[in-house]
Amino acid sequence: MNDKKQDVMIMMGRINRKIFTANDKGLDSSIGMGQLNILKGIVDHENITQDELANILKLDKTTVAKAVKRLESYGLITRNRSKTDLRKKELSATKKAFAVRDRMKKHFNNHSESIFKGVSENEIEMLKCVLEKIEANIEKDRNVMNDKRQLGMKVVRLIEKNDGTNASKLAKLLDKDLDEIREILDKLIMKNFVEEKNGVLNVTPNFKGRNK
């Protein structure tokens, strides 16, 4: 990474912290910025499910689930069984939530006018385009990491089920390139989840204990 890109990343982190700090001070202290973002998603999408909300906001499902539980305890949302699919629960905003949304919108409008002072509409549009590209790259990297994590779990399960297996056999079983499997194995060995002796792979007690 060149110095300019590194400087921009540091600056983005610094600006992000300042924006969040300023917003937290200007809004209800019991609700964090992350929860407000999720609340807005529910207000804007009536009867949405948690999984749908996580996909729209590009957030981890566990993060959304925790925020939803807290928002419900504050009386800002309700969870109701879906009329079309009884296995699902849909999220709805309460009247209290709309009042919070309106205060939030007013605060953000005032705050945005302050932080974008002296920045032209063209510059804002250019910044938006750049940030959208960065966000897409981050999302792509996250998906790749999730795919590797899932592949890692498959590798461990196959090692558990196949005594005396090795990297080549795993690659054939998973229909993957040997180098890709070798990369996954190296990380599992480094974490002490898998051990390799004379080319033979075994799951360690460390991993078995972790999953009890």
Instruction: Find the mean pLDDT for residues 67-96.
Output: 89
> What is the value of pTM for the model shown?
0.62
Q: 170 with 155: CB under 8 angstroms? A: yes
Residue pLDDT, tens place only, 139-168: 899 888 989 999 999 999 999 888 889 999
User: What confidence tier does 181 reach under pLDDT thresholds 50, 70, 90?
Assistant: very high
Full set of structural domains in the chain with CATH: 3-117 (1.10.10.10), 136-210 (1.10.10.10)
User: What confidence tier does 211 reach under pLDDT thresholds 50, 70, 90?
Assistant: low
Q: 97 with 68: CB under 8 angstroms? A: no
Please report, for the chain, how many H helices and E strands are present, in that order: 9, 5
- pLDDT at residue 22, as a whole number: 58
Residue pLDDT, tens place only, 98-127: 888 888 778 778 878 888 999 999 999 999
Identify which has the larger pLDDT, 130 or 212.
130
- pLDDT at residue 210, as a whole number: 63
Nearest to 155 by CA among 178, 171, 177: 171
Q: Which residues of 71-99 are buried (b: 16+ CB within 10 A; e: fewer)?
A: beebebbeeeeeeeeeeeebbebbeebee
Identify which has the larger pLDDT, 206 or 137.
137
Three-state secondary structure string covering 127-152:
HHHHHHHHHHHHHHHHHHHHHHHHHH
